[in-house]
Amino acid sequence: MDKSSYLKKISAWDTDAARHVLSRSLYGYSGTDIEFALSKSLDDFIDNHLLKDLPEPIPPTYNGAEWVTLANNSTNSPNYSNYRYSLIWWWEDLMLQQGYSLREKMVWFYANHFVTEYNTVQVPQYYYLSNKLFRQYAFGNLIELTKKVTIDPAMLKYLNGDVSTRTAPNENYGRELMELFTLGIGNYSEEDIKQAAKALTGWRVNSTTLSAYFTSSRWDSGTKTIFGKDGNWNADDVVDIIFSEKAVAASEYLCRKLYKEFAYYEPNIDYVKQLAEVMRANNFNLKPVLSTMLKSQYFHSPDIRGAKIKSPIEFLVSLIRFFNLTYDNDLLNQIRTKSRELEQEILNPPDVRGWEGQRKWMNTTVYPTRNKFTDSLVTGIKINNKTYKIDVLTFSRSFPSAIPPNENAVQFIEEVTQVLIQFPLSQARKDFLLASLLDGTAVQNWSTYATGASTRLEKFFKALMRLPEFQLS
């Protein structure tokens, strides 16, 4: 593809394009979702649905009681494990109930960009506030979001901003702000970090109101020099200076992160540079950048489609949405524990760099664990005397080729894989799936209404979800 075409809008808004956009934008989708997307124009679906601003969701509760505004103290802390779990279940539910919105994928992107670790902070109220902040700025201005994150209680606690004073400035946040959150290595000096650390002093966290507050006596009010700019800079000034003096580096770094999250783990530098120009032209407002990316020819190129390994969270949550499973907190908790087994514990990234993703999600341990879980969803997972199970008959009969008198096993495989797999399967794969589906039945006799149909369909869906291709987005 010619570089001049990278950001040009795709010409064909068809099934393949819609499936690709849905796969990268949502935590699972159905054939009906593809039909809905195609009932709209490309511009309409992306700009007025995926990127639509939505009202804030109702906060999480535990056993019907609100906890997100409770003070962080010894009276409330014995319940923090329960509050943490309820926050995770609430977040998972929002992923499932997101409708046609990119918002929840952006919340996750921010959580893995402006990283904090629960095992370090250990206050669920602060994590709710971070989550709420990311949702408010899902498609918003990255400069303003970075300012908010700088004094976010979870971040202040995680990178020691709340103990950074004029007499003992702590460099942790200043370093990560430049290295990981805005610029990347090579675009700042150690002296820039030291000077920024001084400007960032003075902030603390009120454990009763759960908010950050500024104490001028703890702030270094002297002159600091950051990227050659002199002044008695404060925290907001640091962020403004980064984005003004290092606009090219910041935009390209942030667009590389977006590319890695939504396109592929190895960035196309030329595409990133072009997307970064869009970011700068829009003063770091994210909505135009996302709109351009999701419509662009390069984003829809064959090299990008189906090339991203689903993260554990994407993989697990999408199963519920794919198969329209009825769920409650017990199943959501199963998703929580299973994601930890698959090496992606919600709220607990491995370090300040976050999850690297892609090939890290596939190894000799986690791949069999994924397969075991999908097998169990087909046969049924029992939790607290309840069974959570894919209704293979109902799901299968949602496809035209499974309805008499037009039943056709070969066409059924085409229809199912066109929804659940991102690209056409090889004939060898199709033959393998057909053998699993028929299980000895003559192809002309295949029917979802025949005796033993449920058993054969269970074998088929187990085989389908064990395919390497099913792990891809």
- Helix, strand, coil abundance in the chain, percent, nearest 5: 55, 5, 40
Dist. CA 130–CA 124, nearest whole Å: 10
Which one of 295, 320, 336 terminates a domain?
295
Shared domain for 44 and 191, answered yes or no, is yes
> Do 242 and 183 touch, CB atoms closer than 8 A?
yes
Shared domain for 172 and 29, answered yes or no, is yes
pLDDT at 1: 85
Is 251 domain-assigned?
yes
Which H helix or E strand runs over 312?
A: helix 312-322
**What is the mean predicted confidence (pLDDT) over 270-297?**
99
Is 434 domain-assigned?
yes
Is 419 domain-assigned?
yes
pLDDT in tens, 284-317: 999 999 999 999 999 999 999 999 999 999 999 9
> Do 218 and 166 touch, CB atoms closer than 8 A?
yes
Shared domain for 411 and 264, answered yes or no, is no
Residues 6+ apart with CB under 8 A from 75: none
> Do 267 and 303 touch, CB atoms closer than 8 A?
no
Is 346 domain-assigned?
no
Dist. CA 466–CA 297, nearest whole Å: 31
pLDDT at 16: 96
Tokens of 336: 């929580």
Which one of 295, 319, 342 terminates a domain?
295
Is 358 domain-assigned?
no
Altogether, the residues listed in the chain come to a count of 473
Which one of 271, 295, 319 terminates a domain?
295
Shared domain for 254 and 397, answered yes or no, is no
The number of domains in the chain is 2
Which residues constitute the domain of residue 448?
393-471
Is 153 domain-assigned?
yes
Amino acid letter, residue 39: S
> Do 279 and 254 touch, CB atoms closer than 8 A?
yes
pLDDT at 360: 86
Shared domain for 245 and 118, answered yes or no, is yes
Q: How confident is the model at residue 238 (pLDDT cuts 50, 70, 90)?
A: very high
Shared domain for 132 and 25, answered yes or no, is yes
Is 374 domain-assigned?
no
**What is the mean predicted confidence (pLDDT) over 367-376?**
97
Max Cα–Cα distance, the chain, nearest Å: 84
Is 426 domain-assigned?
yes
**What is the mean predicted confidence (pLDDT) over 100-112?**
98
The β-bridge partners of 224 are 231
Shared domain for 131 and 273, answered yes or no, is yes
Q: Which residues of 362-379 are buried (b: 16+ CB within 10 A; e: fewer)?
A: eeeebeeebbebbebbbe
């979702």: which residue's tokens? 33
> Do 153 and 204 touch, CB atoms closer than 8 A?
no
